[in-house]
Amino acid sequence: MARNRPEMAKKKPKPPAKRPDAAALKRGRENTAKRCQEVAELLAKEAGVTTIEYHASLTGKAWLKSKRIKVPHATTRRRLYVFAHECAHIALGHTGRETSHRQEYESEVWAHESLRRHGIAVPKVETTRAKQYVAHKIHQAVRRGAKSIDAEALEFSRSHWSASVKRWLKDNPGSGKAQPPTGTRKKKNTPNKEVNDVTALITQGADVAKLVTGTGHDDLTKWFNLYLGVEVESGSNTHRAKVLDIQWFLRFFFDDAGGYHCDDWTPGRTKTFKSWIRKQISDKTGKRLAPSTCRRVFDTTKHAAGWIHRQRPFVAGIPFEGIKGPSLEDPTWQGLADLEVRRLKAAAEQLLHLNTRANQMPRRNYAILLVMLDSGVRVFELADLQLDQYHRRTLKNIQRKGDEVTASIPLSKDTCEVLADYLAEERPKGPGPLFQSRARKPLAQQDVDYILRCIAAQANSRLPASENIQVSPHVLRHTALRKWANTKGVPVCQYS
């Protein structure tokens, strides 16, 4: 018998939260600054710091012998964290006997514990930057030929390991084992467990050939999947590109061999694939694949074939033995002529007076144009630049493609003047991305492309259609690289 359900009482809508007024926000900032300064005094006393020098940058430095630190004023939680990190070096007595990455790891832990002990919540961004910094120190140690890496520092920075560190762990099993953290909650969107298990086994020195068993031992697709899971970071741009390259080969192999048996891959079939790939039509452009694309597909497949052969030898030997890749013509230069560069600069100067709305930020746009022409950075490298990476007319520690870091790139006097004008007049105060919106948000790569097209539109407004300037971040990179090649004799191919 059905029961009569009582009517549910209607929930009253919650009143909108009252936003604090300007006076309340000001009082809150003042109270936070006062509390942070009190904690900073206590930390300096605990660590035994004798001399404190203050500066405006969100960075710090410690001198152990004189017990002196150089830090920002501890008026916010982020500034207080930098203060605590430098106090940690003094308190822990870091003399250089321990490795750099171990010292930085200990300092990050000390800073976290000290702030929490005094009731100050550590900003999430500082926790992330701490892990990134320790990972960077580990990366440096690996590049310098380290024989062992501290396990606790490895575990602390696990989510930010570079490709070089992962390769080092694979080649040196047991030299820096990092056990999974205890008590951590598993994320919902986790990568494929099979890939994770395989990567762990490879790191520990397992026999890869035993991971593909049964009928799959002769299945070429299984080996390609294992190759991608072990050799390439899942979800990265490199992973996506390699998947597309291997798909081209598997499409050819199935049509030519009628299946995916490993032993059907012979040097003769590789030669046929080399001719076949040149005739294929791109799904994206509707034209034949570019020679550079054919060469990339060939090189990706060649690398995978060598890896598979080391695990499961092919009957006919290495499929790419003695076979050269598709030839490449000399790449055409895609940069701008000097006249076009001058016209773009003039257009950006005109927009300084035409774009008067606050959200248009013409000084920032002009600075972006000049920085890209001076430095030749890629668009994602420009978007990732932080304020503290610009110092004394130089861009510092630029994270490049493939986990490479460029120590410094000098900028011209004109570029620095425009940058200084942008920093003083338009950029919101405080740390963060060097180039950002009025709402303090970092610029996306599409935003940079749109900014350059707006400048080009102003330059093209009085030009005939035949002389219109087509500009993009990549075109500016080509322009900068050609300038370096002409003035300094640096081969363009070394930077492209």
Pairing of strands 394-399, 405-410: antiparallel
| Residue closest to 370 by CA, chosen among 399, 346, 396 | 346
Q: Evaluate whether 181 touches 156 at the Cβ level (below 8 Å).
A: no
Q: Which sign, positive or negative, has the C-alpha torsion 29, 32, 34, 40?
A: negative
Q: Is the pLDDT of residue 409 over 70?
A: yes
| Cα→Cα distances 421→369, 391, 412, 414, 432, Å | 14, 15, 14, 11, 17
Residues 134, 486: Cα–Cα separation, whole Å: 39
Q: Which two tokens stand for residue 335?
A: 């940069």
Q: In this structure, what are the phi and psi dihedrals at residue 25, rounded to the nearest 5 degrees?
A: -65, -40
Residue with tokens 């338009």: 426
Please tell me the CATH superfamily of domain 338-494, with its number.
Intergrase catalytic core (1.10.443.10)
CATH code, 24-164: 1.10.10
The gap between the terminal CA atoms of the chain, to the nearest Å, is 78
Q: Evaluate whether 54 touches 71 at the Cβ level (below 8 Å).
A: yes
Residues 139, 402: Cα–Cα separation, whole Å: 13
Q: For the residues 145-171, what does the mean pLDDT come to?
A: 86
Q: For 206-263, write each residue's pLDDT tens digit.
A: 344 554 555 567 888 888 888 888 887 777 778 888 888 988 998 899 888 888 888 9
Residues 130, 107: Cα–Cα separation, whole Å: 9
What 3-state DSSP class applies to 426?
coil
In sequence order, what DSSP letters do the residues of 219-255 get, joined into one string? BHHHHHHHHHHHHS-TTSHHHHHHHHHHHHHHHHHHH
Query: What is the DSSP code (8-state) at residue 137?
Result: H
Residue with tokens 């020098």: 53
Residues above pLDDT 70, as percent of the chain: 83
Q: Which two tokens stand for residue 313?
A: 């030898």
Residues 374, 473: Cα–Cα separation, whole Å: 12
Q: Which of the pair, 202 or 486, is modelled with greater confidence?
A: 486
CATH 1.10.150 fits 208-311, yes or no: yes
Residue with tokens 């991971």: 211
Q: For 350-397, write each residue's pLDDT tens digit.
A: 999 998 887 889 999 999 999 999 988 988 889 889 999 998 889 998
Chain-wide mean pLDDT for the chain? 82
State the pLDDT confidence band at 190, using cuts at 50, 70 and 90.
Answer: very low
Q: For the residues 270-288, what does the mean pLDDT come to?
A: 86
Lowest model confidence (mean pLDDT) among 332-336, 401-405, 471-475, 488-492: 488-492
Quick one: pLDDT at residue 364? Answer: 93
Q: For the residues 452-478, what does the mean pLDDT come to?
A: 91
Amino acid at 288: R
Q: Evaluate whether 386 touches 433 at the Cβ level (below 8 Å).
A: yes
Domain coordinates in residue numbering, the chain = 24-164, 208-311, 338-494
Quick one: pLDDT at residue 238? Answer: 82
Residues 306, 324: Cα–Cα separation, whole Å: 14
Environment class of residue 426 by beta-carbon count within 10 Å: exposed (0-12), middle (13-18) or buried (19+)? middle
Full-prediction pTM beyond 0.95?
no
Residues 375, 367: Cα–Cα separation, whole Å: 12
Environment class of residue 145 by beta-carbon count within 10 Å: exposed (0-12), middle (13-18) or buried (19+)? exposed
Q: Evaluate whether 275 touches 223 at the Cβ level (below 8 Å).
A: no
| Residue closest to 165 by CA, chosen among 180, 192, 144, 179 | 144
| Residue closest to 40 by CA, chosen among 95, 5, 85, 107 | 85
State the pLDDT confidence band at 346, using cuts at 50, 70 and 90.
Answer: very high
Q: Which two tokens stand for residue 329?
A: 């013509």
Query: What is the DSSP code (8-state) at residue 468?
Result: -
Residues 43, 420: Cα–Cα separation, whole Å: 35
Residues 287, 69: Cα–Cα separation, whole Å: 62
State the pLDDT confidence band at 9, using cuts at 50, 70 and 90.
Answer: low
Residues 372, 492: Cα–Cα separation, whole Å: 16
Q: Is the pLDDT of residue 6 over 70?
A: no
Q: For the residues 168-185, what does the mean pLDDT come to?
A: 55
Find all residues with CB under 8 Å of 59, minimum gap 6, and list them: 72, 82, 388
Q: For the residues 87-91, what does the mean pLDDT come to?
A: 90
Q: Is the pLDDT of residue 196 over 60?
A: no
Q: For 48-62, write each residue's pLDDT tens digit.
A: 899 999 988 888 988
Quick one: pLDDT at residue 29? Answer: 84
| Cα→Cα distances 228→67, 240, 308, 326, Å | 50, 10, 11, 23
176-180, 239-243, 415-419, 427-431: range with highest mean pLDDT: 415-419
Helix axis angle for 291-311 and 237-257, nearest 10°, is: 80
Residues 205, 172: Cα–Cα separation, whole Å: 8
